[in-house]
Structure 1
Amino acid sequence: MGNLEWQCNLLFPDPVYMPYFQPSPVEAYSGASQYDAMVSRGTAVGGIPDTYDPQKGLMPASYSSDQRPQFIRTGVSNPNPRIGGPGSPTIYGCPPNLGVLMQYPTSPAASPVYQGSPVHGRRNENMRLPFSPGRNAATSAGWPGQRGRGRVEDINADQHGSRFIQQKLETCSVEEKASVFEEVLPHASSLMTDVFGNYVIQKFFEHGNPEQRKQLADQLAGHVLPLSLQMYGCRVIQKALEVIDIDQKTDLVRELDGHVMQCVRDQNGNHVIQKCIECVPTGRIGFIISAFRGQVATLSTHPYGCRVIQRVLEHCTDEMQSQCIIDEILQSAFLLAQDQYGNYVTQHILERGKPHERSQIINKLAGQVVQMSQHKFASNVIEKCLEHGDAAEKELLIEEIVGQTEGNDNLLTMMKDQFANYVVQKILETCSDKQREILLDRIRVHLPALKKYTYGKHIVVRVEQLCDEETHHEI
Structure 2
Amino acid sequence: MERFHDDADLFPSHEFTMPGNLMPPLDAFFGNPYLQSDSGSHSNSTLLTLGNHNSSPFLNSDLALVESQIARLSLAQSPAFLSPQPNYNDSRRSYAERNGIYEMRQMRVQSAARGFQINSDFEDFWMSNNSAYDHHNININMGYNHHQGANSMEVERYYGRTWRPRQRASLTSLEDLRGKVFAVARDQQGCRFLQSKFEEGKVEDIEMIFMELKDHICELMVDQFGNYLVQKFLAICNHDQMTQLLMNVVSDEYRFMNICVNTHGSRSVQKLLEYLTTADQRRFVISVLKRITLPLTKDPNGHHVIQYCLKLFTFEEKKHILNVIADHCMEIATDKNGCCVLQLCVEHSAGDTRDRLISEINNNAIMLSEHLYGNYVVQYILGLKIPQATADIITQLRGSFVPLSMSKYGSNVVEKFLKEKEIIQESQRVSIIEEIIYSPHFLRVLQDPYGNYVAQTSFAASKGGLRSAMVSLIQANTPNLHSHPHGKRVLQCIKGNKMRL
The CA deviation at 1:361 is 0.5
Q: Give the deviation of 1:327 after TM superposition.
A: 1.9
How far does the alpha carbon of each residue in 1:181-222 deviate from its partner, in whole angstroms, 9 at most, with x for none? 5465453232023244234323444x4366565564354241
Number of the residue aligned with 1:24: none
Residue in 2 that maps onto 1:208: 236
The 3 A distance-change label for structure 1 pair 157 and 76 is farther
Report how far residue 378 of structure 1 moved: 1.8
Q: Which residue number corresponds to residue 309 of structure 1?
A: 342
TM-fit CA distance, 1:151 = 4.6
Contact 2:369 2:410 in 1 (8 A): yes
Q: By how many angstroms is 1:413 displaced? A: 2.8
Aligned to 2:424: 389
Verify the 8 A CA contact 1:306 1:342 in the aligned structure 2: yes
Q: 2:266, 2:301 within 8 Å by CA — same for their partners in 1?
A: yes
**Alignment counterpart, residue 222 of structure 2, candidates 187, 193, 196:** 193
Match of 1:419 among 450, 458, 483: 450
Residue matched to 2:411: 379
Give the residue type in structure 1 aligned to 2:410: A
Q: Does 1:291 align with 2:288?
A: no
Alpha-carbon distance, 1:350 to partner? 1.3
Report if the CA contact (8 A) 1:451-1:460 is conserved: yes
Matches within 5 A, 1:62-461: 75=143, 83=155, 85-88=158-161, 92-96=165-169, 151-158=180-187, 160-161=188-189, 172-175=199-202, 178=206, 182=210, 184-185=213-214, 187-205=216-234, 207-208=235-236, 211=239, 216-223=245-252, 225-230=254-259, 231-232=261-262, 233-247=265-279, 248-261=281-294, 263-264=296-297, 269-292=302-325, 294-317=327-350, 319-352=351-384, 354-386=386-418, 387=420, 388-403=423-438, 405=439, 408=440, 410=442, 412-427=443-458, 452-456=483-487
Once the two structures are superposed, residues 76-129 of structure 1 have per-residue CA deviations (whole angstroms, 9 ceiling, x without a partner) of: 998x985564434687343237869xxxxxxxxxxxxxxxxxxxxxxxxxxxxx
Shift of 1:360: 1.1
1:281 shift after superposition:
1.6
Q: Distance in 1 between matches of 2:324 and 2:335?
A: 15
Counterpart-to-counterpart distance in 1, 2:475 and 2:178: 77
Could you say if the C-alpha distance between residues 87 and 445 of structure 1 is closer, same or farther in structure 2, counting changes exceeding 3 Å?
Answer: farther
**Structure 2 CA distance for aligned equivalents of residues 373 and 398 of structure 1:** 11
Aligned residue identity for 1:193: V
Measure, in 2, the Cα distance between the counterparts of 1:153 and 1:76. 27
Equivalents in 1 of 2:489, 2:228: separation in Å? 47
The one-character-per-residue Cα deviations of 1:408-445 (angstroms, maximum 9, x if unpaired) are: 561x4324322223323444565569977876787678
Taking only aligned residues, the RMSD between alpha carbons, in angstroms, comes to 4.6
- Contact 2:290 2:324 (C-alpha < 8 Å) held by counterparts: no
Matches within 5 A, 1:51-70: none
Question: Which 5+ residue runs of structure 2 have no aligned equivalent?
Answer: 1-138
Relative to 1, partners in 2 of residues 1:219 and 1:425: Cα closer, same or farther, differing over 3 Å?
farther
CA distance in 2, matches of 1:184, 1:461: 70
TM-score (norm 1): 0.57
Paired position in structure 2 for 1:13: none
Q: 1:244/1:353 Cα in 2 relative to 1: closer, same or farther (>3 Å)?
A: farther
Whether the 8 Å contact between 1:301 and 1:342 is mirrored in structure 2 is yes
In structure 2, relative to structure 1, the CA distance for the partners of 1:345 and 1:153 (3 Å cut) is same
Cα distance change of structure 1 residues 99 and 203 upon mapping to structure 2, 3 Å threshold: same
Amino acid at match of 1:243: Y
Q: In structure 2, the residue corresponding to 1:316 is in which secondary structure? A: coil
List per-residue Cα deviations over 1:248-304 (Å, max 9, x = no partner).
Answer: 222221123444445445565444333333322221233333334554334433455
CA contact (8 A) 1:95 1:149 kept: no
Counterpart residue type for residue 169 of structure 2: P
Report the AA paired with residue 270 of structure 2: Q
Q: CA-to-partner distance for each residue in 1:387-411, whole Å, 9 max, x for gaps?
A: 33232222221222233x5xx561x
Structure 1 residues 181 and 391: CA distance shift in structure 2, 3 A: farther
Query: Which SS does the other structure have where 1:255 is aligned?
Result: helix
Q: Among all aligned residue pairs of Structure 1 and Structure 2, give the percentage whose two residues are the same amino acid.
A: 26
Letter in 2 for 1:310: Q
- Counterpart contact for 1:246–1:280, Cα < 8 Å: no
Contact 1:169–1:204 (CA under 8 A) maintained in structure 2: no
Name the CA distance, whole Å, in 2 between partners of 1:152 and 1:447: 79
Greater RCO structure (CA 8 Å; 6+ sep):
1
1:27-48 Cα distance to aligned partner (Å, 9 max, x none): xxxxxxxxxxxxxxxxxxxxxx
Q: CA deviation at 1:179?
A: 7.8
SS in 2 for 1:94: helix
Q: Distance in 1 between matches of 2:406 and 2:197?
A: 53
**CA 1:415 to 1:186, structure 2 compared with 1: closer, same or farther past 3 Å?**
same
SS at match of 2:286: helix
Contact 2:168 2:189 in 1 (8 A): no
Amino acid at match of 2:404: M
Deviation at 1:316, TM superposition (A): 1.1
CA distance in 2, matches of 1:156, 1:423: 58
Structure-2 change in CA distance of 1:460 and 1:156 (3 Å) = farther
Q: 1:189 to 1:298 in 2, by over 3 A?
A: closer
Q: TM-score if structure 2 supplies the norm length?
A: 0.55
* Count of matched residue pairs: 343
Unaligned runs of 5+ in 1: 1-71, 101-146
